[in-house]
A = this chain, B = another copy of it.
Amino acid sequence: MSSSPEPSSSAPEPQDGAAGAGSPRRTVLSTRRLESYTDGVFAIAATLLVLNVSVNNLGAVTSNSDFVRQLTDQAPSILNVVISFLLLSLLWLIHVRQFEYIPRVDTTIVWLNNFRLLGVVLVPFTTSLNDEFNRFLLGRTLLPVNFFVILLLSTWQWFHASSPRRHLVQGASAAAVHNARVGSVSALAQSFGVVLLATMVGSAAFLLFALDPLISVLLRRTGVLRPAPDAVAG
């Protein structure tokens, strides 16, 4: 809408129903339903994960201690579900942060989002592969690869949306948009590290994300991340 080449730092304009006059060739939609569909898909994928732990996995139980032992045997499966749930939570949070400043989307963003959601709905499947076949190379690698692909689409989507000539990001400062791009690439690189590490150690590789605060400090010290009055995460 604004004719400025930089993303406008003003508040998003009230949604006006008509396609943006500044972009006559692209269909422009309000973000609301993309968000609503995305929240639904994340909510269902996160809940379906739990179908991986089921009472059907328990055999005949004869005593209190036998029951405790059988539940303990399920502990790795439950841990697996918890890890995937937290990863989905993280991916959802990244999505929320990105779209906080994107009041309108074009068709490219919608399709990148659909592929991103395709990655999300596959998480319960790759989680169960990881659970049952982690002694095989592919078994322990497909969940990290799934996660990497989602982050790749997420980064792509953010670079597309935050391109100054598209005017899709509104209400965020230029420094915040830049930092979100850096953060996005940093998360993608960490995720690639997780894939490599997972070929050897499996799910434990996700602990690599614990280094994220350290990496952020490093990026801030070296000036790659700029000081900004607000924050977006790409």
Q: Which residues of A contact B (CB under 8 A)?
A: 9, 11-12, 16-19, 21, 24, 26-27, 29-30, 33-37, 39-50, 53-55, 58, 61, 63-64, 67-68, 71, 82, 85-86, 89, 92-93, 96-97, 99-101, 103, 107, 110-111, 114, 117-118, 121-122, 124-125, 128-129, 132-133, 136-139, 170-172, 176, 229-233
Q: Whole-angstrom distance from the CB of A169 to the nearest CB of chain B?
A: 10
Whether A171 and B46, one on each chain, are in contact in the complex, defined by CB atoms closer than 8 angstroms, is no
Contact with A44, one of B44, B61, B176 (Cβ below 8 angstroms): B44
Enumerate chain B residues within 8 angstroms of A44, measured Cβ to Cβ: 40, 43-44, 47
Q: Whole-angstrom distance from the CB of A20 to the nearest CB of chain B?
A: 9
With A and B bound together, what is the CA distance between A40 and B64 in angstroms? 36
Can you list 25 pairs linking A and B with CB atoms under 8 Å apart? A17-B103, A18-B171, A19-B229, A24-B229, A26-B231, A29-B96, A35-B36, A37-B39, A37-B92, A40-B42, A40-B44, A41-B46, A41-B47, A47-B121, A50-B125, A55-B128, A55-B133, A63-B136, A64-B136, A71-B138, A85-B114, A85-B121, A86-B114, A86-B118, A96-B110
Whether A33 and B39, one on each chain, are in contact in the complex, defined by CB atoms closer than 8 angstroms, is yes
Whether A136 and B92, one on each chain, are in contact in the complex, defined by CB atoms closer than 8 angstroms, is no
Enumerate chain B residues within 8 angstroms of A170, measured Cβ to Cβ: 17
Enumerate chain B residues within 8 angstroms of A9, measured Cβ to Cβ: 18
Q: Whole-angstrom distance from the CB of A172 to the nearest CB of chain B?
A: 7
Enumerate chain B residues within 8 angstroms of A42, measured Cβ to Cβ: 37, 40
Enumerate chain B residues within 8 angstroms of A40, measured Cβ to Cβ: 39-40, 42-44
Whether B122 and A27, one on each chain, are in contact in the complex, defined by CB atoms closer than 8 angstroms, is no
Contact with A45, one of B30, B47, B230 (Cβ below 8 angstroms): B47
Whether B97 and A27, one on each chain, are in contact in the complex, defined by CB atoms closer than 8 angstroms, is yes
Enumerate chain B residues within 8 angstroms of A53, measured Cβ to Cβ: 125
Chain B minimum-CB-distance residue to A53? B125
Q: Given A46-B41, A53-B125, A55-B128, is A229 in contact with B21 using a C-beta cutoff of 8 Å?
A: yes
